[in-house]
Amino acid sequence: MTDPVFIVDYDAGNLKSVQRACAEVGMRAVVSSDPERLLDAGRVIFPGVGAAGSAMRSLSRAGLDAALKSAIRGGKPVLGICLGLQISMDHSEEQDTRTLGIVPGTVKRFRFDRPELKIPHMGWNEVRPVRAHPLLEGIEPGDEFYFVHGYYPVPRRNEDVCALTHYETRFASAVGWGSYFATQFHPEKSGRVGLRLLEKFSRWSGAPAS
Amino acid sequence: MLSKRLIACLDVRDGKLAKSIRFVNTKDIGDPVEKAREYYADGLDELVFYDITASSDNRSIMLDVVEAVAREVFIPLSVGGGVRTVADATDLRLAGAEKINVNTAAVKRPALIAECAEAIGDQNVVLSMDIRRVDRSDRFPSGYEIVINGGRTPMGIDGLAWALEGERLGAGELVVNSIDADGTRDGYELRLTAMIADAVRIPVIASGGAGEPRHLREVLTEGGADAALVASMVHYGDYAVSELKNYLHDQGVKMRMSW
């Protein structure tokens, strides 16, 4: 058993599925909104579903925004998931929200001319690593992960993009920035390949290159 | 490219798996947790549990089932049956359900859809619709009518109109269940599925009537469905989940093929 991982609780969705998946890969997890405990934890998972604006308000009300940034600056391994990824960018079109500014870039809404393209992008889709990263090791062509989102991240710098996914447009489905790694998909709902990513996270030092 | 989804629906009564033919003569066919585990290992994309427990005293058994499944099955899990309030929805979510299906209670009180969407997010609210064929009329311009109580009670609501209203109220997905096709194993109601899939911008799950692999192919192509829901086809061992996915993949339907 590793030290407990801190799951950031900020009223943004059901965190129990993340906690259960952690347990499955041998990671003890505490769900908490206490910024002190976040700073003490060995590693952090920053999940979330919901809207960017209200999520940012809950985060800053609890003082978790500053704690998260400081943890990442200090090289603590932090895994963002879905909304967690989106609000770590600079700005989101969703409710025109200024977000954490950990990864340079913005978050845009899917807009399609073809009505047969459903929004949100919901279901299983391929994740293609474009950069070597310890958490993406072992992902084979054709491996699919589970997505549910209507907005997608657009990192400003190419080197922050770790994986791409295609849904009419090509978007960054995983980004990495120092000891911060984040996925637009849900590893906790993505079967064996998702659990493998979480398992790698449980042992990751926080160094971006292997 | 987004894959089409294969979803298995498990009807649960008093904690046991049941399967109905045209919603009557339900019989128990096994342990839902064990089935869920088996399908997950065999590449299922998503699971739906439908609680058909008659007595409200036994509702908590369902929460135990959901909890047990959520501990070992790491794909989206959707639960419905008897969801009448936001509290019902949040209880199920805490037990481990990702998505909540609403049906009868939403027909009776459509605001339930908006309330659940507000509480747990649009994308987690699935509107299940039981629909039967009727003559086209001013009242039923689509030629389909919404029914409840397992098809026994017609509601006087046009099927297509209800789908659009559900989308407007914040449902994140629609299950289109054809009462005429359900349990027949003669194939999905393609015309109904395509009509609704064309009209809405949220994903559509086709339900009712699957008996052969080609039925799945038809509804995922001509029927325009984003996902196909199966029950008896897999529950009785006629087809394995992986067998259906392999077939669909061979037929050119984009499926998740590694798990």
139-168 in chain A: CB under 8 A from chain B: 140, 142-144, 146, 148, 150, 166-167
Measure the CA–CA gap between B96 and B68, rounded to whole angstroms: 9
Mean pLDDT for B225-244 is 94
Confidence of residue B106 (pLDDT cuts 50, 70, 90): very high
Measure CA of the first residue to CA of the last residue in chain B; give whole Å.
17
Phi-psi group of A182: left, alpha or beta (phi > 0 → left; psi -120 to 50 → alpha; rest → beta): beta
Q: How far is B74 from chain A (nearest CA, A)?
A: 5
- For the segment B163-183, what is each residue's pLDDT rounded down to a tens digit? 999 999 999 999 999 999 998
Each residue's pLDDT tens digit, A146-195: 999 999 999 999 999 999 999 999 999 999 999 999 999 999 999 999 99
Which residues touch B77 (CB under 8 Å, ≥6 apart)? B46, B47, B48, B49, B66, B69, B70, B96, B97, B98, B99
Strand partners, A106: A91, A154
Q: Which amino acid makes up residue A189? A: K
| Model confidence pLDDT, tens digit, residues A30-49 | 999 999 999 999 999 999 87
Q: What is the mean pLDDT of residues B215-237?
A: 95
Q: How confident is the model at residue A79 (pLDDT cuts 50, 70, 90)?
A: very high
Interface A–B counts its CB contacts (< 8 A) at: 90
What is the rounded distance in angstroms from the CA atom of residue B200 to the CA atom of residue B160?
9
Supply the angle between the helices B111-120 and B159-169 in degrees, to the nearest 10: 40
Strands B16-21 and B5-13: antiparallel
Q: Give the pLDDT score at B29.
A: 62
Partner residue facing B258 (CB), from A49, A143, A150: A143
Q: In whole angstroms, what is the distance from residue B163 CA to residue B161 CA?
A: 5
Task: Specify the amino acid at residue B70.
Answer: A
**Angle at B60 (CA atoms; ends B57, B62), nearest 5 degrees:** 115
Region label for B14, one of left (φ > 0), alpha (ψ between -120 and 50) or beta (otherwise): left
Cα distance between residue B45 and residue A194, in whole Å: 13
Closest CA to B175 of B131, B109, B118: B131
Count the Cβ atoms, other than its own, within 10 Å of residue A26: 12
Average pLDDT over residues B76-101: 93
Interface test with B, best of A24, A49, A124 (most B CBs within 10 A): A124
Chain B: residue whose CA lies nearest to A113:
B201
Known catalytic membership, residue B238: no
Mean pLDDT of chain B: 92
User: How close is the nearest chain A Cα to the Cα of B168, in Å?
Assistant: 13
Rounded alpha-carbon distances, angstroms, from residue B164 to B114, B125, B142, B189: 13, 15, 12, 18
State residue A69 phi and psi, 5-degree precision: -60, -40
The reported pTM is 0.94
**Closest Cα to residue B134, out of B164, B194, B103, B178?**
B178
Cross-chain CB nearest to B258 (options A24, A140, A195): A140
Confidence of residue A101 (pLDDT cuts 50, 70, 90): very high
**pLDDT at B26 exceeding the cut of 90:** no
Question: Where do runs of H (alpha helix) occur along A2-42?
Answer: 16-24, 35-40
Q: What angle, 0 to 180 degrees and rounded to 10, lies between the N-to-C axes of helices A16-24 and B59-72?
A: 50
Residue A115: the pLDDT is 78
Q: What does the DSSP 8-state code read for residue A139?
A: P
**Mean pLDDT over residues B65-74, rounded?**
94
Mean pLDDT over the full length of chain A:
93
Report the pLDDT value the prediction gives residue B111, as an integer from 0 to 100. Answer: 98
Closest residue on chain A to B203 (Cα): A118
Start-to-end C-alpha separation, chain A: 23
Check residues A197 and B61 and name the one with the higher pLDDT: A197
Give me the pLDDT at residue B53, please.
79
